[in-house]
Amino acid sequence: MAVENVQTSTSTDAYGNAYTTALSNDKLTNNDFLKLMLTELQMQDPTKPMDSQNMLQSQMQMSAIETNLQTIETMKSLQQSFAQTALSQSAGLIGHIVQNGEYGDDGSYKEYHVNSVESIDGEIKLNVGRLLGYNSETQEFIISDEQELIDFNSVTKII
């Protein structure tokens, strides 16, 4: 196994045996640590064994850190998956009329025609035009030319 950029500090005991006193490398894995621990156990002076409890505690801490890092990566992946699902769901609203729970001046719910969907800083926004009425002759909705963004999560009803 080749490990790059490892910095070690060594000392010599009273019997002339060299031993490692410190290691520095941000890229060491649990396997690297176990190999180092086994090598040190093989090389130790049998009359003065090293403290295996400290080594085991260090290994357990490394394992906990690695588990935490894996959990963080899994959570990021899950977050991206939820964001993609929300974007897919919101895209299905394009061309529909929606309400967001707000009231207009006449006391009725505001209704909007969804023109497009976008993600802004991780939040899904609907690009909408306010529904002004319905033309019965052309059988088309009358939609304001003024566009606005509403939050996808604020949609209370799809018409």
* pLDDT tens, residue by residue, 52-73: 676 677 777 777 888 888 899 9
Question: pTM for the full model?
Answer: 0.52
Question: Which residues in 73-112 are b (16+ Cβ under 10 Å) and which e?
Answer: eeeeeeeeeeeeebeeebeebeeebbbbeeeeeeeeebbb
Are 147 and 127 spatial neighbours (Cβ–Cβ below 8 Å)? yes
* CA atoms of 50 and 20, how far apart (whole Å): 12
Report yes or no: 23 and 36 within 8 Å, Cβ to Cβ: yes
pLDDT (tens digit per residue) in 114-137: 999 998 887 899 999 999 888 889
